[in-house]
Chains A and B, each alone.
Chain A
């Protein structure tokens, strides 16, 4: 177990290193950082002084090391456009994105998993065919279009849900949450459906195909031959075996929800990090782009580690590999 986690940690560090390198390259070489920080009226001397102070004349290796060191303590520099610390801006907007992603992920899992199990068990059922057709259409509809259609239906036509923003939020020591007001929950409904729908269809299709695969195995046949109840076979034996690959891929998908939030947040004017990133792309605000990239990579790495641990909990084959059969049959 320890060796396994350490190996994964090293891999994660490699990914982070690579991402940091990309972020640093963006920061250092896309445009001139000094040019971005000062006004037109700043003199050449002042510029050079700033360049010296920022350490932009040091060897690249030193600059990169400093960049990584600063990033590790959460210092991502100032936004070119807003002249505020990027870390502060990200932190302000982090709760909005995390809450939206969490609700979407729960929605995608809570609906996608049962639908996948159902379509796997009742392969030829009318409802299964219906689910599959819907899922194909779901994959073909771009996320932003789904959001727009929902707004048109529920906000414009029916007028039951807010079309933009977070609604009322409650401030819990700097973490502003949607979860404590009815209004906040109502504001969450459409954005989280929009964001979760694509993952939902993926999870459903994945669970379905894994389920079909597992139901064909010998141990399921043998479980039937032992006279176990269908419920025990389908939801105990089959579903648990389905979980191993499903956890891996679902975990990765949930990670990408945070990144996909860019689109949803723009459609619903949801004040999260994604919306901020998009504005940064439009305005070429490199520090925000670079730090968003690092933050997302960090989330991916953390989620990957959680997935690995879950994987380990579910599958005993990964656990005690040393204690193989003692003696032969």
Chain B
């Protein structure tokens, strides 16, 4: 098997606080192949943004990587000195943040910010860099780029600014882009355009994307594979079609129930009762066990690891050969769960 573009092994991210150390990302492993789009979904606080920040080496202090490894094309990057990691950021791993309104420096023209980034990572002359900048602005669909290049961020609308941010992330052709909620702050009408743009550009350039979002709709439309995170761990990871149509983890199943599907005659939207535990009081065993309709003894004692089931991998004791009821039975059980059962489980 070829070396994956990005490999994350047993990553642990911790925050020392006055009330003890909090574990925001707890021993997760996944990989992203060249040109692949991996969606990462979960509720806020599930650790998805932390994972992205850890990969690019920009965890906010006092947060830190407490264990595990991050490998880019087979080379460890989590323990690089600051200066070497800086050269990787922007050049090999690009990033797009949530809010385009605040991601650009208000005092510099967009052209200057692009030229600056290009010249940091390449040997281009100022004239070449400027030509490339105009090319990039054209590519991300900004009209009249020759004129717009010297304008300031406040002269652009939110959607236009996010296009500039995408141009900034892509300007020196990184192999991987970490997009953290790239559309959350935008108008609904513009979200789809931005996602389509991101998808098209990455396909054209062969750039892989780690797309962090809480929006399953965006994932369904864009991602090749998806990782579902819950309380700092991966609950389920697999091909996007498989995870959506055939969710194996009770949490993923519940999550899919909460998406309004156009053209479906769903009587009502299902909602998982209860809420994700705070980092300060994650229960023993499986973190989902207090909300799970299929909970049994082992779930309350041991923490499950990812178990391969068909094309996906799931961290749920139901699928364990020794303690579970057998894969087919487990799948059937999860698939037949309805809101009423969920409610019952929460009441118990």
Direct A–B contact present (CB less than 8 angstroms): yes
Interface residues of A (CB under 8 A from B): 217-219, 221-230, 232, 236-237, 240-241, 244, 314-317, 320, 323-329
A91 and B97 CA atoms in complex are apart in Å by: 59
Given contacts A226-B168, A325-B156, list 9 more A-B pairs with CB under 8 A. Answer: A219-B102, A221-B58, A225-B89, A240-B105, A316-B107, A316-B109, A316-B154, A323-B155, A327-B160
On whether A227 and B86 interact (CB within 8 A), knowing A218-B103, A222-B97, A327-B143, the answer reads: yes
Which residues of B sit under 8 angstroms from A237, Cβ to Cβ?
Answer: 105, 107-108
Give residues 55-111 of B contacting A (CB, 8 Å): 56, 58, 86-91, 94-95, 97, 99, 102-109
Which residues of A sit under 8 angstroms from B143, Cβ to Cβ?
Answer: 326-327
Question: Taking CB as reference atom, which chain A residue is nearest B162?
Answer: A329
B107 to A227, Cβ gap below 8 A? Answer: no
A320 and B162 CA atoms in complex are apart in Å by: 21
A320 to B104, Cβ gap below 8 A? Answer: no
Of A221, A229, A230, A316, the residue contacting B97 (CB under 8 A) is A221
A224 and B59 CA atoms in complex are apart in Å by: 11
Q: Does B14 touch A at the CB level, under 8 Å?
A: no
Q: Does B206 touch A at the CB level, under 8 Å?
A: no
A226 to B90, Cβ gap below 8 A? Answer: yes
Which residues of A sit under 8 angstroms from B186, Cβ to Cβ?
Answer: 329
B157 to A329, Cβ gap below 8 A? Answer: yes
Segment among B39-47, B116-124, B255-263, B308-316 that sits at the interface with chain A: B116-124
24 A/B residue pairs, CB under 8 Å, sorted by A: A219-B106, A222-B97, A225-B58, A225-B89, A225-B90, A225-B97, A227-B91, A227-B120, A229-B86, A229-B120, A230-B86, A236-B116, A314-B107, A315-B106, A323-B151, A323-B155, A325-B156, A327-B157, A328-B157, A329-B158, A329-B160, A329-B161, A329-B163, A329-B193
Interface residues of B (CB under 8 A from A): 56, 58, 86-91, 94-95, 97, 99, 102-109, 116-117, 120-121, 143, 151-152, 154-163, 165, 168-169, 186, 190, 193-194
Question: Taking CB as reference atom, which chain B residue is nearest A216?
Answer: B60
A75 and B98 CA atoms in complex are apart in Å by: 63
Question: Taking CB as reference atom, which chain A residue is nearest B88?
Answer: A227
- Of listed A217, A219, A226, A229, residue having the most chain B CB within 10 A: A226
A263 and B117 CA atoms in complex are apart in Å by: 51
Question: Taking CB as reference atom, which chain A residue is nearest B154?
Answer: A317
Which residues of B sit under 8 angstroms from A230, Cβ to Cβ?
Answer: 86
B190 to A329, Cβ gap below 8 A? Answer: yes
Question: Taking CB as reference atom, which chain B residue is nearest A214?
Answer: B105
A95 and B104 CA atoms in complex are apart in Å by: 46
On whether A241 and B105 interact (CB within 8 A), knowing A320-B155, A325-B156, A329-B157, the answer reads: yes
Which residues of A sit under 8 angstroms from B109, Cβ to Cβ?
Answer: 316
B194 to A222, Cβ gap below 8 A? Answer: no
Which residues of B sit under 8 angstroms from A320, Cβ to Cβ?
Answer: 155
On whether A315 and B107 interact (CB within 8 A), knowing A325-B156, A329-B194, the answer reads: yes
B99 to A218, Cβ gap below 8 A? Answer: yes
Question: Taking CB as reference atom, which chain A residue is nearest B161?
Answer: A329
A224 and B53 CA atoms in complex are apart in Å by: 11
A225 to B190, Cβ gap below 8 A? Answer: no
Which residues of A sit under 8 angstroms from B106, Cβ to Cβ?
Answer: 219, 241, 315-317
Nearest Cβ distance between residue B91 and chain A, in whole angstroms?
6
Question: Taking CB as reference atom, which chain B residue is nearest A326?
Answer: B143
A222 and B178 CA atoms in complex are apart in Å by: 12
A327 and B88 CA atoms in complex are apart in Å by: 35
A218 and B95 CA atoms in complex are apart in Å by: 12
Of B88, B116, B157, B162, the residue contacting A228 (CB under 8 A) is B116
B107 to A218, Cβ gap below 8 A? Answer: no
Question: Taking CB as reference atom, which chain A residue is nearest B193?
Answer: A329
A244 and B105 CA atoms in complex are apart in Å by: 13
A-B interface, 10 closest residue pairs, ranked by CB to CB distance from nearest: A329-B159, A227-B90, A325-B157, A225-B95, A227-B89, A218-B102, A316-B152, A226-B90, A222-B103, A219-B105
A282 and B106 CA atoms in complex are apart in Å by: 52
B58 to A227, Cβ gap below 8 A? Answer: no
Nearest Cβ distance between residue A327 and chain B, in whole angstroms?
6
Nearest Cβ distance between residue B136 and chain A, in whole angstroms?
13
A222 and B101 CA atoms in complex are apart in Å by: 12
Which residues of A sit under 8 angstroms from B97, Cβ to Cβ?
Answer: 218, 221-222, 225
- Of listed B87, B116, B120, B155, residue having the most chain A CB within 10 A: B155
A229 and B82 CA atoms in complex are apart in Å by: 10
A232 and B89 CA atoms in complex are apart in Å by: 15
Which residues of A sit under 8 angstroms from B95, Cβ to Cβ?
Answer: 222, 225-226
A227 to B155, Cβ gap below 8 A? Answer: no
Which residues of B sit under 8 angstroms from A236, Cβ to Cβ?
Answer: 116
A224 and B151 CA atoms in complex are apart in Å by: 22
- Of listed A223, A323, A325, A329, residue having the most chain B CB within 10 A: A329
A241 and B105 CA atoms in complex are apart in Å by: 8
